[in-house]
Amino acid sequence: MQDMNRRDFIRLLGATGAVSGLTVMGIPTAVLAKASGKVIVVGGGFGGATCAQYLKRWGPDIDVTLVERESKYVTCPFSNEVLAGDLPMDKITFSYDGLKAKGIKVITDEVTGVDAGSKKVTLKGGDSMSADMVVLSPGIKFIYGRVENDDKVAESMPHAWKAGPQTLLLRKQIEAMKDGGTVLILPPPKPFRCPPGPYERASLIAHYLKNNKPKSKIIIVDSNESHSKQKSFHAGWKHLYGMGEGKMIHWIKETEGGKIEKVDPSTMTVTKEFGDKFKGDVINFIPYQKAADLVHKAGLTNKDGWCDVHQDTFESKVAKGVYVLGDACVAGAMPKSGHSANSQAKNCAAAIVSKLAGQEMPTPTYANTCYSLISPDFGISVAAVYGFKEGSIKKIAAGVTPPHPKEKDRFYKNEAKYAKGWYNSITMDMFG
């Protein structure tokens, strides 16, 4: 054995087809490798929690620490169901006990600084710690000043774009609204977290209104001229609620009157660039978005406010040994979704484990799926598989659920059913 190096050995196994045989038996392919070192992951959401889990799974000897500001995580996926009164908050709230049980150190604190050079992370409590590698998945922050008064309306026009108290506040306002009232939903210009999110939200609020306040209306005053799964959403709206001016859901695109210029909490009105005014009884103003503060302060963002990374490993293009995942990074053709962040996290974990073991990472592979419920029993989705080509993430295969009634009714019902399966599975992947 001494005179045969690891590569030769692996080549021999490969030649016999036994490499795959070994993985079947649950034995790692590169039996001589051992990944060890210290990795700090910041942010315990879709990117961070998944990355910590897979670092530990694929590199059990790696010292993995997860730092998260909150003691519990509330998922944005299925928060529109909470908003519509179909699900209690505790069903979308998770603790980090599952990660702790696997030997991941979990620290509940806010990271105030990341020194990219020394891989030193400073906590609000004053402590600091260093690692071989730092992974950041801190999500988004809202940026204000693009729309007049946009920094003053978090209470009067809740965004509910980070799940938690904001979700419950918007829920309370919708519940308190009189029958015959108007709900305005104001999506920001792309790119933003969860491209189908505002339209799923309109759907599930419509479902609530139809059953409880049927004279009410929803107007989506969009700052975009098209939206995710558009045809399938619109067909579903027509089928279930009625769509168009005077109907339950009315969608006004950006080209009709321009972007939103002003929100006024004292009169509960919204004004578009070319003067059109809308009055709402409940207003859901979703602010413009950028990568979270943490990565700005660490100097990791580009001129647009997002982080450029090597899209195979997710290592920052400006800081070696620092990796950025999820909503905060630029990931080629992938949308900003929880499923995308989960997929990116697995590639990042594979890259780090391989690097710490002195191996090449396996060829990256990525996937995304975004289910949207148009009602609790009517689902649609978009799904794609991606590969790494010429330095960026490109689509290999993709598809959207065909608009109703191209498929049988049970198809949409099954999509709604499997959406819950997706949720159960991905949250198990993160927190189980």
Ligand X SMILES: Cc1cc2nc3c(=O)[nH]c(=O)nc-3n(C[C@H](O)[C@H](O)[C@H](O)COP(=O)(O)OP(=O)(O)OC[C@H]3O[C@@H](n4cnc5c(N)ncnc54)[C@H](O)[C@@H]3O)c2cc1C
Which residues here bind ligand HEC, judged by CB under 6 A? Answer: 367, 369, 383, 414, 418, 422
SS3 label, residue 331: coil
Tokens of 419: 């959406």
Residues lying near ligand X in the complex (CB under 6 A) are found at: 42-48, 67-70, 73, 76-77, 79-80, 110-111, 137-139, 161, 193-194, 197, 292, 294, 326-328, 336-339, 341, 370-371
68 binds, among ligand HEC, another protein, ligand X, none (CB under 5 to 8 A by kind): ligand X
Query: Closer to ligand HEC at the Cβ: 13 or 383?
Result: 383
Tokens of 320: 């070696």
Query: Closer to ligand X at the Cβ: 48 or 59?
Result: 48
Any idea how long the chain is? 432
Query: Closer to ligand X at the Cβ: 82 or 357?
Result: 82
Tokens of 193: 């977290």
214 binds, among ligand HEC, ligand X, another protein, none (CB under 5 to 8 A by kind): none
DSSP state of 78: T
Reading phi first (left if > 0) and then psi (alpha if -120 to 50, else beta), residue 146 is in alpha
Omega into 405 within 30° of 0, i.e. cis? yes
Residue choice 219, 286, 353, 374 for contact with another protein (CB under 8 A): 353
Query: Closer to another protein at the Cβ: 212 or 363?
Result: 363
User: CA neighbours within 13 Å on the CB side: how many for 114?
Assistant: 32
The amino acid that residue 268 corresponds to is M
Residues 32-51 that bind another protein (CB under 8 A): 32-36
How far apart (Å, rounded) are the C-alpha atoms in residues 352 and 37?
10
366 binds, among ligand X, ligand HEC, another protein, none (CB under 5 to 8 A by kind): another protein
Instruction: Return the axis-axis angle of helices 46-58 and 338-356, rounded to nearest 10°.
Output: 30
Residue that has been written with the tokens 């905060």 in this structure = 328
Q: Is 101 in the site for another protein (CB under 8 A)?
A: no
Q: Is 58 in the site for another protein (CB under 8 A)?
A: yes
Query: Closer to ligand X at the Cβ: 10 or 345?
Result: 345
How far apart (Å, rounded) are the C-alpha atoms in residues 108 and 128?
13
137 binds, among another protein, ligand HEC, ligand X, none (CB under 5 to 8 A by kind): ligand X
Near another protein by CB under 8 A, which window of 64-72, 113-121, 249-257, 393-401? Answer: 393-401
